Amino acid sequence: MTIDSIRNGIVLDHIEAGKSMEIYRVLELSKLDCSVAIIKNAVSKKAGHKDIIKIDALIDINLDVLGYIDPGITVNVVKDGHISEKRKLSLPETVTGVIKCRNPRCITSAEQELSHVFRLSDRARGVYRCIYCESKAGTEA
């Protein structure tokens, strides 16, 4: 299998195997007019297997969303065929509009225009809590 290198664009590397489609969906990469290559289950010396996403354009990417989905991702910015910038990600302090609060009594249930904002409450465990009701992300109240 051959996937061409990109001249100017972004390579999301070291994605945990199986998470590339979630990133593709959340970042809405299907709306781009450029080539996007998804490589699933590529062999990795460190992780065994990994996913890679190559975007053949220099676009703005929400690094907080990527850090929340998989803090182990490396973002490589490619200019003129060479990596010009390399960013390591970590869990962001806050995440807006990615996680939905599932607490039916939360203000976000009644006030639909409010953004769903979650704050990192336990970095070691990767636990996020709603800033309005303190519900833990992904669980019922």
Residue extents of the structural domains in the chain: 9-88, 94-130
In CATH, what is the architecture of 9-88? 2-Layer Sandwich (3.30)
The per-residue pLDDT for 47 is 75
CA distances in angstroms from 40 to 16, 32, 95, 127, listed in the order given: 10, 20, 26, 27
Confidence of residue 4 (pLDDT cuts 50, 70, 90): low
Sign of torsion, CA 84 40 28 95? negative
Model pTM score: 0.81
| Structure token digits, residue 114 | 């409010």
| Structure token digits, residue 125 | 């465990």
Confidence of residue 5 (pLDDT cuts 50, 70, 90): confident
Quick one: how many helices (H) and strands (E) in the chain?
Answer: 3, 8
